[in-house]
């Protein structure tokens, strides 16, 4: 810490020296026509150029120096010589710069004897003086907790991290591209809601002073998107932020991103086809192939994807039937060695535990998990030939649940009954959303609905083991 304080002090001394000669080292505008990547591609020897970026390397040679300038797109080498920029500028300004400072440069393109495209600097402009030194070049920023807390430093020094978030942006862009082409309308629905509905989970609660009402950060946008189907929009989607006041792990963050898609006159089977199409489109556009490398596995996205029956597996492994009571579930699970610590555990909680235990070892193929129990799916239609099961799937890939979809329940009487049953000892909505039921009473067309977890999808496409590696600023415990 003492060493850090001394380095900061040295930089502050340089900052003050720069100010004393009348130069303001912060906030000056600098015209940057193109990023460095394009500059390197489009410029030829002798061209006058100007660009800006962060100094990431310095190599001094007496009255001349080379330094690397980097922006979000790439790196360019700059040559600066006292005889060209002026001896005073070289001694009083450039010599007081450090790795990490942000600089504007004007000059002409030339190639070194090694063939590297380089800018021969004629003018330099200080745009921001960094007061904290960056991590050492060869050691980098490797402490995981520090990387997440100081993502801004992580992005500066770790190029692979920048690529992950560039990949994330491209994934979202390509999903939008496909949905827009297919005639879906992107919409926005409330993030603060009067009723915590649309998904199971504990909500974050807040209070609106002017209206003097309690509100909840949304668990999911589902009920509002279905209202839009009632209103006459046939195809809608929302790229949304959801909030659940639950645990944190390598697969869970309390604030996360999903895309929810609803299509009138479709169903669960239609959502399966759309899911396969979305993943194959994104893989082809972003990765150049319909295969994903995740961990040690290469996942082949070629459709159709196999199905895996939850009801059959839970019957085979635990002898649990869809009409068993919660007490029967616990009894049968304990007989198989599953330990429950909570006394009044709900059926939904039990289902989550079982799902984790049965979580398919998907290996090199995505798997649709089907035949989920109706009691656990209050917003999905029942299967006509098996009314205790729902017309729903959960998509597992790389050992994770990635997406969830079903044939939407559009019977207002059945929906209200399901809500009432859910309130009795079940987690999820805390009270019935009467306005949503009223909306269904006006008539909602049959529809398929699909939710895809964007964070986990990015984990797969960017081959990252933790959700924190694909969220720019994940939620963390306060610093000690």
144 lies in a domain? no
Same domain flag for 163 and 24: no
Please identify which residue in the block is written with the tokens 């984790």: 356
Residue 27 lies in a domain: yes
Same domain as 103, residue 179: no
DSSP tally for the chain: helices H, then strands E: 15, 20
Give the span between the Cα atoms of 275 and 279, in whole angstroms: 6
- CA-nearest of 53, 102, 103 to 73 is 53
* DSSP assignments along 81-100, one per residue: EHHHH-HHHHHHTGGG--TT
Cβ burial, residue 359 (10 Å; 0-12/13-18/19+) = middle
- Encode the chain (480 residues) as per-residue pLDDT tens digits: 566 789 999 999 999 999 999 999 997 889 999 999 999 999 999 999 999 999 999 998 888 999 999 999 999 999 999 999 999 999 989 999 999 999 999 999 999 999 999 999 999 999 999 999 988 754 555 678 888 999 999 999 888 999 999 999 999 999 999 999 999 999 999 999 988 887 778 899 999 999 999 999 999 999 999 999 999 999 999 999 999 998 888 888 999 999 999 999 999 999 999 999 999 999 999 999 999 999 999 999 999 999 999 999 889 988 999 888 878 888 888 888 887 766 556 666 777 777 777 677 667 899 999 998 887 788 889 998 898 999 999 999 998 899 999 999 999 999 999 888 877 754 445 688 999 999 999 999 999 999 999 999 999 999 999 999 999 999 988 886
Domain that holds residue 460: 156-469
Where among 134, 165, 200 does a domain terminate? 134
Assess whether 334 and 383 both reside in one domain: yes
Task: Give me the pLDDT at residue 138, please.
Answer: 41
Do the domain assignments include residue 146? no
pLDDT (0 to 100) of residue 173:
98
- Do 235 and 326 lie in a common domain? yes
169 and 200 part of one domain: yes
The SS3 call for residue 69 is strand
- pLDDT for res 336: 85
Residue 231: alpha-carbon gap to chain centroid: 30
> Is residue 143, in this structure, part of any structural domain at all?
no
Residues 413 and 343 in one domain: yes
- Asked whether residue 388 falls in the same domain as residue 463, the answer is yes
Q: Considering the domain boundaries, does residue 476 fall inside one?
A: no
Closest CA to 80 of 71, 72, 90: 90
Q: What is the pLDDT of residue 141?
A: 59
Q: Residue 472: what pLDDT?
A: 96
Bridge partners for 214 per DSSP: 207
Copy the structure tokens of residue 283. 């893989």
In a domain, 474, yes or no: no
pLDDT value at position 142?
63
222 with 354, same domain: the answer is yes
Amino acid 428: pLDDT: 46
Domain membership of residue 477 (yes or no) is no
Same domain, 14 and 73: yes
CB 162 within 8 A of CB 155: yes
What's the CATH number where 112 sits? 2.40.50.140
The DSSP-derived string for 192-224 is EESS--SSSSPPPEEEETTTTEEEEE-S-SHHH
Q: What is the CATH number of the domain that holds 414?
A: 3.30.930.10
Judged on CB neighbours under 10 Å (0-12, 13-18, 19+), 404 is buried
Q: Could you tell me if 69 and 165 lie in one domain?
A: no
pLDDT for 339: 77
Q: Identify whether 148 is part of a domain.
A: no
- Total domains present in the chain: 2
Angle formed by the axes of helices 326-335 and 347-358, to 10°?
A: 40
Q: Which residues contact 22 (CB under 8 A, 6 or more apart)?
A: none
Residues 130 and 160 in one domain: no
Query: How confident is the model at residue 282, as a pLDDT?
Result: 98
Phi, psi of 160 (to 5 degrees): -60, -35
**What are the CA-CA distances from residue 452 to residues 107, 150, 257 (Å)?**
48, 28, 9
- Both 54 and 101 in one domain: the answer is yes
């Amino acid at each position: 810490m003492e060493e850090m304080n001394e380095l900061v002090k040295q930089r502050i001394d340089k900052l003050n020296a720069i100010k004393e000669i009348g130069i303001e080292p912060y906030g000056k505008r600098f015209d940057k026509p193109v990023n460095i990547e394009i500059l390197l591609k489009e410029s030829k020897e002798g061209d006058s150029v100007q660009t800006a970026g962060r100094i990431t390397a310095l190599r001094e040679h007496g009255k001349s120096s080379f330094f690397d300038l980097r922006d979000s797109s790439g790196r360019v080498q700059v040559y600066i010589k006292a005889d060209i920029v002026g001896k005073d500028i070289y001694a009083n300004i450039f010599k007081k710069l450090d790795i990490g400072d942000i600089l504007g440069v004007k000059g002409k393109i030339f190639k070194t004897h090694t063939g590297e495209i380089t800018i021969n600097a004629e003018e330099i402009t200080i745009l921001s003086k960094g007061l904290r030194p960056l991590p050492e070049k060869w050691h980098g920023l490797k402490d995981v907790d520090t990387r997440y807390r100081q993502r801004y430093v992580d992005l500066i020094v770790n190029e692979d991290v920048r690529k992950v978030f560039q990949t994330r942006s491209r994934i979202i862009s390509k999903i939008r591209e496909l949905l827009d082409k297919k005639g879906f309308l992107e919409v926005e629905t409330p993030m603060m809601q009067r009723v915590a509905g649309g998904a199971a989970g504990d909500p974050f609660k807040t209070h609106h002073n002017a209206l003097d009402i309690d509100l909840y950060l949304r668990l999911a946008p589902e009920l509002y998107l279905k209202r839009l189907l009632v209103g006459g929009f046939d195809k809608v989607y929302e790229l949304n932020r959801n909030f659940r006041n639950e645990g944190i792990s390598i697969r869970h963050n309390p604030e996360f991103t999903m895309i929810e898609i609803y299509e009138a006159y479709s169903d669960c089977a239609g959502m399966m086809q759309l899911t396969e199409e979305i993943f194959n489109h994104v893989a082809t556009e972003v990765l150049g192939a319909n295969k994903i490398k995740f961990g040690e596995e290469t996942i082949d996205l070629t459709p159709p994807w196999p199905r895996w029956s939850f009801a059959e597996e839970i019957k085979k492994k635990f002898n649990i039937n869809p009409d068993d009571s919660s007490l029967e579930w616990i009894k049968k699970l304990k007989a198989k060695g599953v330990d429950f610590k909570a006394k009044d555990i709900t059926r939904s909680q039990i289902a989550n535990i079982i799902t984790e235990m049965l979580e398919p070892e998907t290996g090199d193929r995505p798997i649709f998990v089907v035949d989920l129990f109706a009691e656990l799916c209050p917003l999905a239609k029942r299967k006509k030939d098996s009314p205790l099961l729902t017309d729903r799937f959960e998509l597992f890939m790389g050992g994770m649940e990635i997406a969830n979809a079903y044939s939407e329940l559009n019977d207002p009487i059945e929906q209200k009954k399901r809500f009432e049953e859910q309130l009795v000892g079940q987690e999820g909505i805390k009270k019935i959303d009467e306005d949503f039921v009223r909306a269904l009473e006006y008539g909602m067309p049959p529809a398929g609905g699909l939710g895809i977890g964007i964070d986990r999808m990015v984990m797969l496409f960017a081959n990252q083991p933790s959700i924190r590696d694909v969220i720019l600023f994940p939620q963390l415990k306060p610093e000690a």
